[in-house]
Amino acid sequence: MNGRQSGRPTLEEVAARAGVGRGTVSRVINGSPRVSEQTRTAVAQAVAELGYVPNQAARALAGSRTDAIALVIPEVEARLFAEPYFLDLIRGVSAELADADKQLLLTLIRSEQERQRFEQYLAAQRVDGVLLASVHGDDPLPERVRELGLPVVMNGRRSEAEPVPYVDSDNIGAGRAAVAHLVARGRGRIATVTGPLDMYVARARLGGYRAGLTEAGLTPDEALVSAGDFTEEGGRRAMRLLLDRSPDLDAVFAASDVMAAGARAALREAGRRVPDDVALVGVDDSPVARLMDPPLTSVRQPIEEMGRTMARMLIQEIQGDGEAPAEPRRQVLPTELIARKSC
């Protein structure tokens, strides 16, 4: 036996011997079908070589179902309840889980301490899987959830090469559609207020904006790009900066309706009329867009359907439908521009 000199071999030692993650070992031991035969064989060999004996109580707990799903949003309450996006996403997730007789556990993570507490909660096997929303590019939580042996599906992605299953909308197409609409309305100095650029969604919409300009024969100008943070105040600040740098701009693509509301306020402060002086387009087609004065042209993304699709995908992962796929499951839903009076 090649285990430790004192005490029983650990799950971590089996994982190291097999060359896989701790969560993979847990899935093999608990009979999950979401593991390839090659991986299953490597883990079985490591178990035999080390003489690993699973804790039966832990196995019984891991093998049971809680019928609970965690939806994790690493944001403060103020942003959660101020943005219609999150409310629509929660509505979609909740509806799909209710149809499947699953319980929704909504979790906000606002600090490193709360993150560690949540990881301990997951390690205790109190949920069957995790849905993640609003994940920034450097967030290690998706990998940490998988290391704990739990299925996870993300709303959006952290990069083009996202290794974790996700459901997203066509954010590049959203930017292109917004610019094409503004160009068709005769606008030529088109600015953009982006989201935080450590998030793929913001980079993708910015990429779509730039592609739209190029397709229209316009030269992208970095003086017409200002970073926001998906909040109304962030949109207001970014718009003020754009007006200082490029007072001749005649259109703005804001990467969210909430930021568009902030941009409109800054335009009014500067005496600019929408759409007479500056045309305005947002993203989400939220109640904010419909209630603005004038009503906001916006690129609709199917937020509630994204929530439903995420939950459905996660339930499939939990139930197991054969061997783990070679590539992570991913789905990108289409967007649609809804024209109103802001341009």
For the stretch 133-171, pLDDT in tens is 988 888 888 988 888 889 999 999 999 989 999 999 999
Percent of the chain with pLDDT over 70: 90
Overall number of domains in the chain: 3
Do 216 and 313 sit in the same domain of this protein? no
pLDDT over threshold 50, residue 5: no
Do 178 and 143 sit in the same domain of this protein? no
pLDDT of residue 32: 63
For the stretch 75-90, pLDDT in tens is 777 777 778 889 999 9
Do 272 and 234 sit in the same domain of this protein? yes
Contact 102, 315 (CB under 8 A): yes
Position 327 in a domain: yes
pLDDT over threshold 80, residue 325: no
pLDDT of residue 328: 59
Residue 211 belongs to domain with CATH number: 3.40.50.2300
Do 256 and 279 sit in the same domain of this protein? yes
pLDDT over threshold 80, residue 63: no
Average pLDDT over residues 34-45: 81
Query: What is the pLDDT of the chain when averaged over all its residues?
Result: 87
Do 211 and 258 sit in the same domain of this protein? yes
Position 113 in a domain: yes
Contact 328, 167 (CB under 8 A): no
Name the residue among 335, 333, 336, 334 with its Cα closest to residue 167: 333
Do 137 and 226 sit in the same domain of this protein? no
Strand bridging mode 330-333 / 166-169? parallel
Do 202 and 262 sit in the same domain of this protein? yes
Position 340 in a domain: no
> 275: cis peptide before it, omega within 30°?
yes
pLDDT of residue 235: 97
With b for 16 or more beta-carbon neighbours within 10 A and e for fewer, the 91-105 pattern comes to: ebbbebbeeeebebb
Any idea what DSSP says for residue 325?
Answer: P
Q: For residue 39, give its domain range.
A: 11-54
Q: In what order do the strands lie in the sheet with 251-254?
A: 225-227, 190-194, 251-254, 279-284, 297-300, 336-338
pLDDT of residue 321: 46
Position 127 in a domain: yes
* pLDDT level of residue 14 (50, 70, 90 thresholds): confident
Do 189 and 278 sit in the same domain of this protein? yes
Average pLDDT over residues 203-224: 97
Comparison of pLDDT for 42 and 225, the residue scoring more:
225
pLDDT over threshold 70, residue 58: no
Predicted model pTM: 0.77
Name the residue among 186, 253, 277, 197 with its Cα closest to residue 229: 197
308 CB neighbour count, 10 Å cutoff:
21
Sign of CA dihedral 159, 162, 166, 169: positive
* C-alpha–C-alpha distance, residues 80 and 84, integer Å: 8
Do 327 and 232 sit in the same domain of this protein? no
Do 161 and 175 sit in the same domain of this protein? no
pLDDT of residue 60: 42
For the stretch 303-316, pLDDT in tens is 999 999 999 999 98
pLDDT of residue 34: 66
Position 271 in a domain: yes
Do 75 and 155 sit in the same domain of this protein? yes
Comparison of pLDDT for 221 and 81, the residue scoring more:
221
Block residue for tokens 């909740």 = 94
Position 6 in a domain: no
Do 290 and 309 sit in the same domain of this protein? no
Among 6-15, 121-130, 145-154, 231-240, name the one with the lowest average pLDDT.
Answer: 6-15
Comparison of pLDDT for 286 and 149, the residue scoring more:
286
Position 61 in a domain: no
Comparison of pLDDT for 1 and 232, the residue scoring more:
232
